[in-house]
Chains A and B, each alone.
Chain A
Amino acid sequence: MDLELVINPTTELANKTIYWYGNDSEEVYNKNLADPIQYSRLKAGGWINTTIEYQYNSNGFRGSEFDSAHNHFCVFGGSIVNGIGLLYEQLYPTIIANQLNIQCFNFGQPGGSNDTAFRLALTWIPKLKPKFVIYQTTFKSRVEMIELPNHEYQTPVWQKKPPARAEIYGIQTVAPGRTAQINRDHLYKNWVMYDLNQDLLKLKNLLAFRQLCKEYNCQLIETADDNFDTDLDHMDRARDLYHPGPNLHRQQAEKMLNIIWQKS
């Protein structure tokens, strides 16, 4: 399997630094600035005129280059792990890395699914052999299928074969476009209506993830998006006023560090 050839949601950002991404868009930010309640939330969070750099490595992941020679751990998950709307140093994996003085290779994918996390783990854990792995599960209604890339996609020079794109079904969106369009697929709608499909896929991803870590002798620490308080009335928000804010990440880092210390 040429898993490295699969294009992830952030692959196109390889080697780039951008200042807005996904829900954390300039348009949403300006709208929030103009709304008195949202403005007070931005102000309380310290987000007025704060610059966020989204810096992507050569593989299209947010953070440093992957180098198995470094002492490191890996983290897999969705947009919370990727840190949408947050400075890189505010993310809980970065806080953990700084506390333990080891590198963190961050595989968080905005809009990612549990399938995405497992695929990335299958691609990278055998190569990197991390000290330990954090797996943060996300919405069970999301399913990933590998499809042919969009016509607009430019094949990077390092890809020798035609790439395939990881398409995630089940991301909740009100905006028109590809995401909304694929969610209307009859087969997906049929699938998502039955909890058992979602539960079985989530469980299989988790058990397969555990087995992968066992086979590569990596300690696995499991967490979930649900462990973050995503109550929208909560004042600790990222700059997009949607994702969890820096205090929630700090709390999560403390919890995870306790688990890591207990296990070591």
Chain B
Amino acid sequence: MNYNITDIENIVTWQAEFAGQTLQWVGEDNQEQYEKKLNNANTRRQLEQSGWLTNTLDYQFNSHGFRSPEFDPTNDHFCAFGDSVTAGVALNYNQIYSTIIESKLGISCYNFGQAGGSDSTSVRLALTWLPKLAPKFVIYQSTFKHRFEWIEPWHGQRNPAGVKNPQQAVIYGVQPHGGGSSPSTQSDLYQHWINIDTNRELLAVKNLMTMRYLCQEMQIPLIEISIDDFFSKSDDKGRDLLHPGPKIHQIQAEKILEKINGS
């Protein structure tokens, strides 16, 4: 299947700079914020309760800059698209809902989660990768509707490995607490756009319909979940005390597995 978007593979997000690397901190889960939280009695208690005083994290990125095993279409696999929740920011890799599903089903999960990503990012990645990988099924985790992605010149100091003419996917509408994501929200046009619910709703519907169409055309079952599914009143948090914690991921993994087994 060819949708004739020239150079779509050259679009990269900020995670591309980490291709092939293993990091201990990423984005909002950064050392500076963590140490601040250690020095505050309330947040220290929260870290302790969630087991984050002793735990260390590894963020291992594949050669395309995703927190995922290398992509190999010949392996039995499924794909997960979403934002930092799917990327598992502030969690160990084996605590992410998609990795739990991977272990239960015994097939690989190719994780396209993008920290600070938008629904448009997920759909672009699906357009790029689904025709190449043809997974067994797809999980699409939609995110905040006020985020949108536009393509701009590459901002990085050096080209990401393997990308000759990189173009940067900039996400408008990310609210960074501790650095990492794009802060491009000051434009008049963006401010105009975000003020009207209809713009956000229309973009979300357009992305969802595109994802559905793409999966139906390729006869790939699609499981739709939302960021709202992960934000309950639970105290269960990731190491950054912002993202959902391992228990919430476990619960969501079980719900998704029920859907998979029921279909």
Nearest B-chain residue to A169, judged by Cβ: B189
Q: Are A199 and B5 in contact (CB under 8 A)?
A: yes
Complexed CA–CA distance, A63 and B34 (Å)? 63
Q: Is there a chain A Cβ closer than 8 Å to B205's Cβ?
A: yes
Tell me which of A20-28, A141-149, A231-239 binds B.
A141-149
Tell me which of B61-69, B194-202, B229-237, B239-247 binds A.
B194-202
Say which size band chain B's interface belongs to: 35 or more
Q: Is there a chain A Cβ closer than 8 Å to B190's Cβ?
A: yes
Q: Are B198 and A3 in contact (CB under 8 A)?
A: yes
| Interface SS of chain B | helix
Say which size band chain A's interface belongs to: 20 to 34
In the assembled complex, how far is the CB of residue A219 from the closest CB belonging to chain B, in whole angstroms?
15
Give chain A interface residues in 160-200, CB to chain B under 8 Å.
Answer: 164, 185-188, 190-191, 194-197, 199-200
Tell me which of A38-46, A75-83, A203-211, A247-255 binds B.
A203-211
Question: Quick one: which of A1, A197, A204 contacts B150, CB cutoff 8 A?
Answer: A197
What's the count of A-B pairs with C-beta under 8 Å?
A: 96
Question: Quick one: which of A119, A146, A196 contacts B8, CB cutoff 8 A?
Answer: A196
Nearest B-chain residue to A191, judged by Cβ: B150
Q: Tell me which residues across on chain A come within 8 A of B8, comparing CB atoms.
A: 196, 200
Give chain B interface residues in 1-58, CB to chain A under 8 Å.
Answer: 3-8, 11
12 pairs from A and B in contact (CB 8 Å cutoff): A118-B202, A122-B205, A146-B199, A147-B196, A185-B188, A200-B120, A203-B210, A204-B207, A208-B205, A208-B209, A210-B213, A211-B210
- List chain B positions with a Cβ less than 8 A from chain A: 3-8, 11, 120, 123-124, 127, 150-152, 167, 187-190, 192-193, 195-199, 201-202, 205-207, 209-210, 212-214, 216
Q: What are the 5 closest A-B residue pairs judged by CB atoms, nearest first?
A: A208-B209, A187-B189, A211-B213, A211-B209, A187-B187
